[in-house]
């Protein structure tokens, strides 16, 4: 790991001012914020990231979880994943978020990991993490080792011929189904970015993963008030029950009464190059009976555009079954 300078800013304005001098906020940034360090330090040890300056956000007053006047929730950028998952308002109103976070990593990692850091965690594609291998995301133009290589865990939705890396976060999938908004303080002022617009598809520039620019400090995330009478849950399928990333997962937020679905928000994990909101599935569920046939139609719609690689074709049926089962669980006795 190369040596680096550590900056401890006194407030968000100073943190943003220091990082605004970076060449990029994307892969290869020379100045980076650091929060829990559970993604960044790993990548620095592997020489995948080599920032010269780390700007420590841990002492900024961004660690609160508070109800908003409209009944929603505001979550500070440095709130630890454990604190978020176990917060009474999250357990009561946003079960899908609590379950998604608790399904990820380990207790120790969740105690360090932060809300902003989780939003920005990087792919687990093995070629990205190995500097001896070609990887367009790490080194644009070098090729993609995964497309004709080991791609069992990689994406089937939102891929390009430059990159098929999966967004690995569980929290992001729940946030997508909850229609979270990410609040950023940047060189040009503050802005609020719906999570659907925050991560970008790889296209021809897989090194660019979000809309963030140099100087953009995530300050907090807001969740809208919970839809009245909704039930939500997160179902994660993986090779083993703990300490493992999703092969396929589903976050569902459903309102149903008398066997009929009146509102549905669906997002999928483990299958997309970004947290995968499926408005197609939502369309097949809304105003329909809560039956297995309806759930299957929704799952077919969600995976309609899936493009499998040599080793991950099994994910199409796995993801469909994951969504169908999550919907069954969420609508039981509705």
Ligand X SMILES: Cc1cc2nc3c(=O)[nH]c(=O)nc-3n(C[C@H](O)[C@H](O)[C@H](O)COP(=O)(O)OP(=O)(O)OC[C@H]3O[C@@H](n4cnc5c(N)ncnc54)[C@H](O)[C@@H]3O)c2cc1C
| Contacting residues toward ligand SF4, per CB under 6 A | 123, 125, 127-128, 135-137, 144-146, 154, 163-165, 206
Residue 123 sits in the site that holds ligand X (CB under 6 A) = no
| Cα–Cα separations (whole angstroms), residue 208 to 21, 54, 183, 193 | 18, 20, 19, 16
User: Which x/- pattern, by CB under 6 A, does the window 70-89 give for ligand X?
Assistant: -------x---x--------
Q: Minimum CB separation from ligand X for residue 332, in Å?
A: 26
Rounded Cα distance between 40 and 162, Å, is 23
Pick the piece of the chain touching ligand X (CB under 6 A) from 102-110, 129-137, 156-164, 320-328: 102-110
| Strand pairing class (53-56; 31-34) | parallel
293 burial type by CB count under 10 A (0-12 exposed, 13-18 middle, 19+ buried):
exposed
144 binds, among ligand SF4, ligand X, none (CB under 5 to 8 A by kind): ligand SF4
Q: Which stretch binds ligand X (CB under 6 A): 33-41, 145-153, 224-232, 251-259?
A: 33-41
Considering beta carbons, is residue 122 or 231 the nearer one to ligand X?
122
- Contact partner at residue 145 from ligand SF4, ligand X, none, CB < 5 to 8 Å by partner kind: ligand SF4
Count CB-CB contacts under 10 A for residue 147.
18
Decide if 84 contacts 65 (C-beta within 8 A): yes
CB contact at 8 A, 249 and 236: yes
Q: Which phi and psi (to 5°) does residue 7 adopt?
A: -105, 135
> Out of 114, 230, 288, 309, which residue is the one contacting ligand X (CB under 6 A)?
114
**Interface with ligand X includes 226 (CB under 6 A)?**
no
Going by C-alpha positions, the residue among 72, 81, 73 that lies closest to residue 99 is 81
Site for ligand X in 233-252 (CB under 6 A): 245
Nearest residue to 166 (alpha-carbon basis) of 217, 119, 211, 125: 125
Whole-angstrom CA distances from 160 to 96, 201, 210, 273 are 30, 8, 16, 9
Q: Which of 16, 26, 38, 288 binds ligand X (CB under 6 A)?
A: 38
169 binds ligand X (CB under 6 A): yes
Q: How far apart are CA 266 and CA 291, in angstroms?
A: 16
Q: How far is the CB of 29 from ligand SF4 (least distance, A)?
A: 17
Task: Please choose, from the candidates 144, 228, 185, the residue with its C-alpha nearest in 3D space to the C-alpha of residue 61.
Answer: 185
Q: Check binding of 109 to ligand X (CB under 6 A).
A: yes
- Report the C-alpha gap between 313 and 297 in whole angstroms: 19
Residue 57 interacts with which of ligand X, ligand SF4, none, CB < 5 to 8 Å by class? ligand X
Residue 63 near ligand X by CB under 6 A: no
Residue 211 interacts with ligand X (CB under 6 A)? Answer: no
Please identify, using beta-carbon distances, which residue of 27 and 136 lies nearer to ligand X: 27
Q: Which is nearer to ligand X, 109 or 196 (CB)?
A: 109
| 231 vs 225: CA distance, rounded Å | 13
Question: Does 186 help bind ligand X (rule: CB under 6 A)?
Answer: no
Residue of 18, 84, 113, 253 that binds ligand X (CB under 6 A): 113
Whole-number minimum distance, CB 122 to ligand SF4, in Å?
A: 9
Q: Among ligand X, ligand SF4, none, what binds residue 77 when CB lies within 5 to 8 Å by partner kind?
A: ligand X
Using alpha carbons, select from 261, 278, 289 the residue that is nearest to residue 322: 278
Residues of this chain that bind ligand X (CB under 6 A): 32-40, 42, 57, 77, 81, 104-105, 109, 112-114, 116-118, 120-121, 168-171, 217-218, 245
């Amino acid at each position: 790991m190369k040596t680096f300078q550590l900056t401890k800013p006194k407030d968000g304005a100073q943190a943003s001012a220091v990082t605004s001098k970076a060449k990029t906020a994307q892969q290869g940034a020379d100045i980076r914020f650091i929060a829990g360090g559970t993604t960044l330090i790993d990548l620095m040890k592997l020489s995948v990231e080599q920032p010269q300056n780390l700007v420590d956000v841990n002492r900024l007053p961004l660690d609160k979880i508070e109800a908003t006047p409209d009944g929603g929730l505001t979550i500070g950028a440095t709130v630890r994943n454990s604190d978020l998952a176990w917060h009474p308002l999250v357990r009561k109103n946003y079960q899908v978020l609590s379950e998604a976070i608790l399904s990820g990593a380990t207790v120790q990692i969740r105690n360090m990991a932060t809300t902003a850091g989780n939003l920005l965690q990087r792919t687990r594609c093995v070629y990205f993490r190995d500097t001896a291998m070609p990887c367009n995301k790490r080194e644009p133009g070098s090729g993609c080792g995964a497309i004709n290589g080991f791609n069992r865990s990689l994406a089937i939705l939102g891929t390009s011929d430059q990159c098929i890396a999966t967004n690995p976060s569980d929290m992001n999938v729940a946030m997508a189904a909850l229609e979270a908004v990410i609040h950023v303080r940047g060189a040009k002022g503050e802005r609020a970015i719906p999570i659907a617009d925050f991560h970008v598809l790889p296209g021809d520039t897989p090194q660019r993963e979000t809309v963030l620019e140099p100087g953009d400090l995530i300050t907090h995330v807001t969740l809208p008030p919970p839809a009245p009478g909704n039930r939500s849950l997160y179902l994660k399928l993986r090779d083993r029950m703990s300490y493992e990333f999703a092969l396929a997962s589903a976050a569902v937020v459903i309102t149903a009464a008398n066997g009929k679905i009146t509102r549905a928000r669906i997002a999928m994990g483990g299958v997309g190059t970004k947290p995968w909101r499926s408005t197609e599935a939502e369309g097949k569920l809304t105003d329909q009976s809560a039956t297995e046939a309806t759930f299957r139609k929704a799952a077919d719609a969600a995976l309609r555009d899936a493009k499998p690689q040599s080793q991950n074709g099994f994910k199409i049926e796995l993801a469909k079954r994951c969504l169908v089962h999550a919907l069954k669980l969420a609508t039981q006795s509705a």
